[in-house]
């Protein structure tokens, strides 16, 4: 006999009632979110607790569903680009690139070489900004308030740089089919060159301030161990997979743009715990700086938008194309199917956060509730991206 | 036992290292600005809401030729261009028209090309710049202002033609009255 025998008397919506069906006697069912600060937006997780221990957890999605894929069906390809900045506000450039890349592949459009370098530079700077945002917010979750101030000090500098070519500070709509909207001007390049050594000098400070701190180490070491087979089963990518020792990065596994010409490492960690994912992201910021530095040296002069670039009324030729890029959270994919009509017939967006979140149910089983929140944060979730 | 004690010592040391960083930044000058009294200066490249660009001669008259490319390109349908209606021809003109027709010439369209109204709904706009890129005459631009605010939804529905006219009127007054204003301020 279970405590939740009389289902009709139970409060809660469909999800809670369904979840409660298999609950054990004496356990507590708790809704974490959808308005909980530690869930970074509107993620809802139903947990079954035995005292402090999580017996079962189930993420429930859809509170921030904005029909981006459907909107792609009522707009032309060029008109859909502004949407991509809104899918993931953390790493908008990556999403810009994924969709634009897929459209270019379907249309067989070549991108000028300078535009490729500009894309890499802006994408990598955006990746640093995204990791800084995660770093600050994650430590905020864990109860450390000031780190986010340091992170935003640096992030602000990147936003200032990216504001020059893009004109916006968060939801960039910068890439165009066949290039980018504007060239990096001399002022922008000078600022990037100044930023690189400055941010390099900040990284040891981050290490002293937080990474080596014993309180953080005791907090995130050995919690949320994700085995490699779990990563593979759920399709986890990005720092979550690399934190478990899987050396998978789209920039190396399926190289695109000018990444094969660049010399950089893919940081991995064998710790498999939340600390591993933390280390991977911190190491990745340094690699981003290396990439940007090389790109600035190698960047040729020339056009940034191909001649005769598609107008808004441009129709994607009949066919299909898939293009994947490495985002700050993992593999971002855009799949475009066109029947040759005015609008794209179907667009599928592969969000890395969706796969990374889905393994949470398995990983959080048997942990303490406070640890479960720390694990959730270590996955670097951006809810708008998960729900799309 | 000794190892444990050493570990504890190194753990405590990590806290001291962190505090050293805190102390260093505590003594540093403030990096933020107190907004209403002082504003940030890095907004030159910021894309604010749209505006029409005035002509070289008459700053109040838009360069726009009412072709409607912007409204067609806009992903969020926030633009409406209202074309001017052809002016009613005077009797002499009508006569001339009839004569031209008789000769087989195509009558010239004398309708002014600038729009009567250029309705812009900022609540829908996503500031993507597609309209700007598709304007054949470069008649649209972003204002660099991030400070737009309003009390109601209607405050963000603009008629850009009117906005441009008002802007030009204010600027015209400013230019003529500039020396005086400068003196009074000093």
Per-residue model confidence as pLDDT tens digits over A111-162: 888 899 999 999 999 999 999 999 998 998 888 888 888 899 899 889 989 8
User: Is A47 in contact with A369 (CB distance < 8 Å)?
Assistant: yes
Whole-number pLDDT of residue B107 = 63
Q: Which of A82, A153, A213 sits opposite B75 (nearest CB)?
A: A82
Q: Which of B11, B28, B129 to probe the A interface (max A CBs under 10 A)? A: B129
With CB atoms and an 8 Å threshold, state whether B75 touches A215. Answer: no
With CB atoms and an 8 Å threshold, state whether B15 touches A208. Answer: no
With CB atoms and an 8 Å threshold, state whether A171 touches B126. Answer: yes
pLDDT higher than threshold 90 for residue A387: no
pLDDT in tens, A175-227: 988 888 888 888 889 999 999 999 998 898 888 888 888 888 888 888 888 88
User: Would you call B12 an interface residue with chain A, using a CB distance cutoff of 8 Å?
Assistant: yes
CA atoms of A286 and A249, how far apart (whole Å): 16
Confidence check on the interface: ipTM exceeds 0.90, yes or no: no
CATH number assigned to the domain comprising residue A333: 1.10.645.10
Q: Which of A78, A168, A213 sits opposite B47 (nearest CB)?
A: A168
Question: How many structural domains comprise chain A?
Answer: 1
| Helix/strand/coil for A132 | helix
Q: Give all strands (DSSP E) within A282-357, no chain letters.
A: 319-326, 331-338, 346-350
User: Phi/psi at A38 (nearest 5 deg)?
Assistant: -75, -5
pLDDT in tens, A328-373: 888 999 999 988 888 889 899 999 989 998 899 889 888 998 888 8
Q: Is residue A53 part of a domain?
A: no
Q: Is the peptide bond preceding residue A34 cis, with omega within 30 degrees of 0?
A: yes
Whole-number pLDDT of residue B36 = 85
pLDDT higher than threshold 60 for residue A318: yes
User: Is A339 in contact with A331 (CB distance < 8 Å)?
Assistant: no
Q: Which of A79, A181, A208 sits opposite B75 (nearest CB)?
A: A79
Q: Which of A272-286, A288-302, B105-119, B134-148 has the lowest mean pLDDT?
A: B105-119
pLDDT in tens, B90-112: 777 777 777 777 777 766 666 77
As a dihedral over the C-alpha atoms of residue A10, residue A13, residue A19, residue A21, rounded to 10 degrees, the angle is 40
Q: Is A117 exposed, middle or buried (0-12, 13-18, 19+ CB in 10 A)?
A: buried
User: Is A310 in contact with A91 (CB distance < 8 Å)?
Assistant: no
Architecture of the domain defined by B47-177 = 2-Layer Sandwich (3.30)
CA distances from A171 to A132, A372, B113 (A): 16, 30, 35
Q: Is residue A158 part of a domain?
A: yes
Which residues, listed in sequence order, are joined to residue A334 by a DSSP beta bridge?
A323, A349
Whole-number pLDDT of residue B178 = 44
Q: Is B103 exposed, middle or buried (0-12, 13-18, 19+ CB in 10 A)?
A: exposed
CA atoms of B141 and B118, how far apart (whole Å): 13
Residues 169-188 of A with CB under 8 A from B: 169, 171, 173, 181
Whole-number pLDDT of residue A132 = 92
**Which residues of chain A does B18 touch, with a Cβ-Cβ cutoff of 8 Å?**
208-210, 212-213
**Which residues of chain B does A173 touch, with a Cβ-Cβ cutoff of 8 Å?**
126-129
The per-residue pLDDT of chain B, averaged, comes to 79
pLDDT higher than threshold 70 for residue A10: no
The residue segments making up the domain with residue A219 are: 68-387
With CB atoms and an 8 Å threshold, state whether B128 touches A163. Answer: no
Q: Is residue A60 part of a domain?
A: no
Residues 129-148 of B with CB under 8 A from A: 129-130, 133-134, 142
**Which residues of chain B does A212 touch, with a Cβ-Cβ cutoff of 8 Å?**
14, 17-18
**Which residues of chain B does A205 touch, with a Cβ-Cβ cutoff of 8 Å?**
21
Residue of B nearest to A154 (CA): B31
pLDDT in tens, A13-34: 778 777 877 777 778 888 887 7
Q: Which residue has the higher pLDDT, A301 or A14?
A: A301
Q: Which of B45, B141, B142, B145 to probe the A interface (max A CBs under 10 A)? A: B45
Q: What is the DSSP string of A62-108?
A: -TT---HHHHTTSS-HHHHHHHHHHH-SSSHHHHHHHHHHHHHHHHT
With CB atoms and an 8 Å threshold, state whether A82 touches B126. Answer: yes
**Which residues of chain B does A210 touch, with a Cβ-Cβ cutoff of 8 Å?**
18
Rounded average pLDDT over B112-141 = 84
> Domain map of chain B by residue range?
47-177
With CB atoms and an 8 Å threshold, state whether B15 touches A214. Answer: yes
With CB atoms and an 8 Å threshold, state whether B15 touches A213. Answer: yes
Q: What is the DSSP string of B2-38?
A: HHHHHHHHHHHHHHHHHHHHHHHHHHSPP-S--TTTS
Q: Which of A79, A86, A168 sits opposite B130 (nearest CB)?
A: A79
Q: What per-residue string of b and e applies to B111-140 under the rule 16 or more CB within 10 Å gives b?
A: eeebbeebbbebeebbbbbbbbbbbeeebb
User: Would you call B26 an interface residue with chain A, using a CB distance cutoff of 8 Å?
Assistant: no
User: Would you call A370 an interface residue with chain B, using a CB distance cutoff of 8 Å?
Assistant: no
User: Is A335 in contact with A347 (CB distance < 8 Å)?
Assistant: yes
User: Would you call A214 an interface residue with chain B, using a CB distance cutoff of 8 Å?
Assistant: yes
* Residue A109 C-alpha from the chain's centroid: 27
User: Is B51 in contact with A241 (CB distance < 8 Å)?
Assistant: no
Query: How many other CB atoms are there within 10 angstroms of residue A70's CB atom?
Result: 12
User: Would you call A228 an interface residue with chain B, using a CB distance cutoff of 8 Å?
Assistant: no
Q: Which residue has the higher pLDDT, A45 or B177?
A: A45
Whole-number pLDDT of residue A271 = 87
With CB atoms and an 8 Å threshold, state whether A212 touches B17. Answer: yes
**Which residues of chain B does A167 touch, with a Cβ-Cβ cutoff of 8 Å?**
45-47, 127, 129, 142
With CB atoms and an 8 Å threshold, state whether B75 touches A153. Answer: no
CA atoms of A330 and A281, how far apart (whole Å): 11
Tokens coding A93: 């450039």
Whole-number pLDDT of residue A3 = 54
Question: Going by DSSP bridges, is the β-strand pair A44-50/A53-60 parallel, antiparallel, or unpaired?
Answer: antiparallel
User: Phi/psi at A54 (nearest 5 deg)?
Assistant: -85, 120
User: Would you call A311 an interface residue with chain B, using a CB distance cutoff of 8 Å?
Assistant: yes
């Amino acid at each position: 006999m279970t405590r939740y025998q009389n289902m009709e008397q139970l409060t809660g919506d469909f999800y809670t009632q369904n979840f409660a069906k298999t609950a054990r006697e004496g356990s507590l069912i708790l809704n974490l979110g959808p308005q909980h600060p530690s869930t970074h937006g509107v993620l809802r997780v139903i947990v079954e607790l035995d005292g402090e221990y999580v017996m079962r957890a189930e993420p429930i999605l859809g509170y921030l569903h904005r029909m981006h894929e459907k909107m792609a069906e009522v707009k032309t390809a060029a008109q859909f680009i502004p949407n991509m900045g809104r899918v993931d506000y953390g790493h908008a450039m990556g999403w810009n690139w994924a969709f634009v890349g897929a459209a270019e592949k379907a249309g067989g459009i070549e991108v000028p070489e300078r535009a490729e370098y500009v894309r890499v530079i802006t994408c990598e700077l955006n990746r640093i900004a995204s990791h800084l945002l995660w770093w600050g917010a994650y430590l905020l979750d864990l109860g450390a308030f000031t780190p986010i101030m340091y992170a935003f000090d640096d992030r602000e500098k990147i936003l200032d740089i990216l504001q020059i070519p893009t004109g916006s500070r968060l939801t960039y709509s910068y890439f165009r089919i066949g290039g980018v909207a504007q060239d990096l001007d001399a002022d922008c390049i000078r600022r990037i060159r100044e930023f690189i050594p400055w941010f390099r000098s900040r990284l040891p400070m981050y290490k002293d301030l937080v990474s080596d701190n014993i309180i953080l180490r005791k907090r995130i070491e050995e919690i949320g161990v994700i085995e490699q087979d779990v990563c593979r089963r759920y399709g986890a990518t990005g720092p979550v997979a690399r934190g478990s020792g899987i050396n998978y990065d789209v920039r190396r596994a399926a190289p695109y743009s000018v990444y094969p010409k660049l010399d950089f490492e893919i940081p991995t960690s064998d710790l498999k715990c939340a600390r591993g994912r933390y280390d991977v992201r911190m190491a990745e910021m340094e690699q981003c700086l290396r990439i940007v530095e090389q790109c600035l040296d190698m960047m040729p002069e020339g056009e940034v938008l191909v001649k005769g670039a598609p107008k808004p009324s441009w129709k994607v030729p009949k066919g299909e194309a898939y293009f994947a890029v490495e985002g700050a959270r993992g593999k971002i994919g855009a799949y475009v199917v066109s029947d040759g009509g005015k609008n794209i017939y179907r667009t599928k967006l592969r969000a890395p956060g969706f796969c990374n979140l889905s393994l949470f149910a398995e990983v959080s089983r048997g942990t303490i509730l406070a640890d479960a929140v720390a694990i959730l944060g270590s996955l670097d979730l951006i809810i708008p991206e998960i729900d799309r | 036992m000794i190892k444990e004690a050493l570990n504890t010592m190194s753990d405590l040391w990590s806290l001291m290292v962190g505090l050293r960083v805190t102390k260093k930044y505590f003594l540093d000058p403030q990096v933020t600005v107190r907004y209403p009294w002082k504003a940030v200066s890095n907004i030159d490249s910021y894309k604010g809401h749209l505006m029409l660009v005035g002509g070289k001669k008459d700053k109040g008259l838009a360069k726009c030729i009412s072709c409607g490319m912007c409204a067609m390109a806009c992903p969020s349908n926030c633009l409406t261009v209202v074309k001017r209606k052809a002016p009613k021809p005077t009797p002499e003109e009508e006569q001339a028209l009839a004569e031209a027709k008789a000769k087989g010439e195509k009558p010239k369209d004398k309708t002014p090309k600038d729009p009567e109204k250029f309705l812009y709904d900022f609540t829908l706009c996503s500031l993507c710049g597609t309209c700007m890129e598709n304007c054949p005459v470069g008649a649209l631009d972003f204002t660099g202002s991030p400070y737009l605010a309003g009390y109601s939804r209607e405050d963000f529905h603009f008629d850009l033609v009117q906005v441009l006219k008002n802007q030009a009127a204010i600027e015209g007054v400013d230019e003529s009255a500039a020396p005086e204003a400068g003196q009074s301020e000093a």
